[in-house]
Structure 1
Amino acid sequence: MSRQPGDQLALVAFMQAGNTSVYAGSWRHPATEHRYLDASYYADLGRLLERGLFDLMFFDDRLAMPGIHGGSVADAVRYGARPVKLDLSVVLGVLSQATSRIGLGATYSTTYHAPFHVARTFGTLDHLSGGRAAWNVVTSVNDREAQNFGVNQHMSPTERYDRADEFLEAVVGLWDTWEDGALVRDRASGIYADPSKVHELNYHGAHFDVRGPLTVPRSPQGHPVLLQAGSSGRGRDFAARWAELIFTGDPGIEVARNHYAEQKARIAEFGRDPGAVKICPMAYTVVGESEAHAAERERMFLNDLVDPMASLTLLSELMNYDFSAHDLDEIVTDELVDKSTGIRGLVQNLRTHIGDTVRIRDLAGHRATLLQGPRFVGTATQVADQMEEWFMTEACDGFVLAATHLPGSFEDVVRMVVPELQRRGLYRTEYTGSTLREHLGLERSPAAPRQPAGPAHV
């Protein structure tokens, strides 16, 4: 694979429906707006990103307040370590009416939701947004989430991905229970829809039995776009089988190039077209009117805004392991890796990037500060130079941009970086389609041929 003249990169905004951006210290920034409990806040952000011609804004989620660290939610509440998470179906409902072109995505868990519920939620969003829905598929991360759904302990990674594969089979099958052209709506004859084009699913697996059909007709995109961010070997296989946009966390360009080539090869091994799947790392942009201005902004973010306890609180949440008994300078051992359910892929990535010696503070900083992805710092020209290098040398197909503060980070990108990317021919100057699939250059999903249902056939 190689870049062709006219290829353009994708831009995705990584959102949180709560008190911080992905950057855990963003709530302390003097320019951050604390309107996240107001519908107009999300509407304004959506319209801003749409002016910047972003492909998609998608929202991360957790199903519990961080409370693994020290066995309490106290530090999450005290230090603002993402204690607020609003219901995303409502937030995206607001955005579907406030915007008209940008894609709208939400994180939903395959571990603590049911396939019918998720299929109906995203099928409905796809209709009401005019074909702009995306589902970020996750398997959830910790025991706190399990306990909010009446389960004492979170499943092992193997169990979660086995369940997730069945979950996707069932959801995609439900989206296909209505064929195109099923709706007749003939007032004269009294025929609303053609029953020969609406089918029961009758999915039977080890984890799910789903009868169907879905109560939502086939949606504008056929299937909402599927996002996924697995970093472990099983997670990368899952993404290769299902994802249409893969969200990565590679901190450096060489690591990203290797990951890009390896993931594209896995996609091909699953019989899919690697060119039809976008791979986009998370990145921060710190843009200034001058190089010195940008450097000063970066120093403020790195030095002052994230309390170390907030970092450890978020690390414990992600890893499903209580780090309160560990010192920040303690080395992460293989024994510690084996104790937590989510740490392995992250540690592997960090060892590749910084060497074999990874300390607790490296892990914590990776999750809570600006260390989680590449950081493009400088003037608009310098930031565009860095993004162009990543894109043109096949380290990525675009970027998932995270905000250091809101709405200012995205205002800087829209006002300064987007025009520079457009000048270079690397980014659209207008939306040429109306659906998210059209923005991403993806075909509308055709309905699967009708055949016996079940894990081997869906």
Structure 2
Amino acid sequence: MSRKQVILGAYLGGVNHHTAWWHPEAGSQIAFSSFEHTARTAERGFFDFFFLAEGLALRERAGEVFDQDIIGRPDTFTVLASLAAVTEHLGLAGTINATFNEPYELARKFASLDHLSGGRAAWNVVTSFDAFTGGNFRRGGFLDPADRYVRAEETLNAVRALWDSWGVDDVVADKESGRFLARGNAGEFAISGAQFDIHGRFTVPRSPQGRPVVLQAGVSPQGRDFAAANADAIFSPFGKLPEAADFYRDVKARAVKAGRSADDIKILPSASFVLGDSAADAAEKHRAILHEQVTGQTALILLEQIYNRDLSAYDPDGPVPDIEPDPEAPPIIQGRAFIHQDRFATVKRLREVSEAKKLSLREVVIDQFERGPLVGTPAQVAEQIDTFVQHNGSDGFILGSHLVPTGLDEFVDKVVPLLQDRGVVRTEYTGTTLRDNLGLAAAPAPVRV
């Protein structure tokens, strides 16, 4: 039986506490040289794609900007288009919100990126409903939480309709004029639904992938259904077996139920890594990094998002607070994605872990908030990745480092060659598009109605 190939994505740390901005080797979070170095390193390691997260508003605590966050994130499309000029094979994936952007703009920008990059564009579809983020946009916080996936699905369907409004043979060459001409109905579209009533002609001919790759992150049952029915890849929040394997089976089953093949969707958790000369050396480095990342103040703020209470009076080196969350109060933390489905169950688990392991507030945050880091010697990390993928915990990993922009270099130099020796990472790019490299089926041909 052949071994699964490991998909590798690279992300550049941004607006969160994981980025070691204080490190003497740390570079700028917004300089093009940082993005370029990370992307070139990923391509040197034969990664599948480079990924950018998105922050649409500066995060706040009790009305004030976090003073431990990294401030600043340039426009995603500008960065990815620039990287298209300095890479040849690497996919370029951007997180763009489906709530605050219009289908025509989204379709045109991603189709343009796909043309500029020769078929390497990917869209990570995210949603938002909170008034805090919406305050930066014309629509404000209008969207009811129950409707966010309704809008996301209509947005994605509309974008795909625009991509498909150009047929594969709608551009023809006129020999006399030397110009390229469009056939009569090329680009025509008319879309009407609960969210949109738009019509016109799309300006960008069909791109190399036909449809750029679609990524999505969904943990709730509704989010999983949306991703399973629509995404080419989904970001998994689970970095440890067996819960990761349970998520893998669940999403693949939902894809089949939606009329797709299980192979039509790839499962990709994010992970950090720490390498050492020995297992003990790597573990010590990892412990030191975690304690630098999660200061006492950071630990309190991470818990405040769960409790939705001001915890500043609590000692980070003391016990977990004995109060209960207050989900009905106005949010004390604004601009940070909330990933905990049940506040009360999460607090109960944190207390149980703290008591069982004799951990302080800060220590339990460090223990529980990290998602399956890869720690060990290069050989051990290669083994961890290969074992995880072959046991269907995922189809690969999206890797990032606490050190920007040079952190990925060590992984590419020391771990990738070992994965290549195992036969699970390519030694050269053979596909011409991101779809090819991810092992995804070609986009369906446009259907004229």
- Which TM-score tier does this pair reach, normalised by the shorter chain? 0.7 to 0.9
Report 1:117-136 matches (<5 A).
117-136=105-124
What amino acid does structure 1 have at the position aligned with 2:176? A
Gap change, CA 1:435 and 1:152, over 3 Å in 2? closer
* 2:56 match: 63
* 1:299 Cα deviation after fit: 1.4
1:143 maps onto 2:131 in alignment: yes
Report 1:233-272 matches (<5 A).
233-272=221-260
1:389 maps onto 2:382 in alignment: no
TM-score, structure 1 as length reference:
0.86
Higher mean C-alpha displacement, 171-180 vs 439-448:
439-448
Report 1:37-436 matches (<5 A).
37-67=30-60, 69-73=61-65, 76=66, 78-79=67-68, 81-140=69-128, 142-153=130-141, 155-188=143-176, 192-196=180-184, 198-310=186-298, 323-325=309-311, 329-330=320-321, 336=327, 343=338, 345-347=340-342, 365=365, 371-436=369-434
SS of 1:377 mapped into structure 2? strand
Q: 5+ unaligned residues in a row in structure 1: which ranges?
A: 452-458
Higher mean C-alpha displacement, 434-443 vs 6-15:
6-15
Gap change, CA 1:349 and 1:397, over 3 Å in 2? farther
Note if contact 1:255-1:353 (Cα within 8 Å) is conserved in structure 2: no
What amino acid does structure 1 have at the position aligned with 2:254? R
Note if contact 1:141-1:154 (Cα within 8 Å) is conserved in structure 2: yes
What amino acid does structure 1 have at the position aligned with 2:135? Q
* 1:169 Cα deviation after fit: 0.8
Gap change, CA 1:66 and 1:6, over 3 Å in 2? same
Higher percent of residues as helix: 1
> Residue by residue, what CA displacement relative to the aligned partner does 1:346-372 show, whole Å, maximum 9, x if unpaired?
549985996895899699948xx9934
> Residue by residue, what CA displacement relative to the aligned partner does 1:26-77 show, whole Å, maximum 9, x if unpaired?
21233322x333222211211111000000111000210002x11121xx2x
1:27 maps onto 2:21 in alignment: yes
Q: 5+ unaligned residues in a row in structure 2: which ranges?
A: 355-359
What amino acid does structure 1 have at the position aligned with 2:35? Y
SS of 1:226 mapped into structure 2? strand
SS of 1:98 mapped into structure 2? coil
Higher mean C-alpha displacement, 160-169 vs 140-149:
140-149
RMSD over aligned Cα atoms = 3.1
2-structure distance, mates of 1:311, 1:246: 28
1-structure distance, mates of 2:161, 2:137: 25
Note if contact 1:199-1:213 (Cα within 8 Å) is conserved in structure 2: yes
SS of 2:189 mapped into structure 1? coil
Note if contact 2:215-2:232 (Cα within 8 Å) is conserved in structure 1: yes
Residues paired across the two proteins, number: 435
1:14 maps onto 2:2 in alignment: no
> Residue by residue, what CA displacement relative to the aligned partner does 1:168-210 show, whole Å, maximum 9, x if unpaired?
1100100001001111121316773342451422100111122
* 2:357 match: none
SS of 1:211 mapped into structure 2? strand
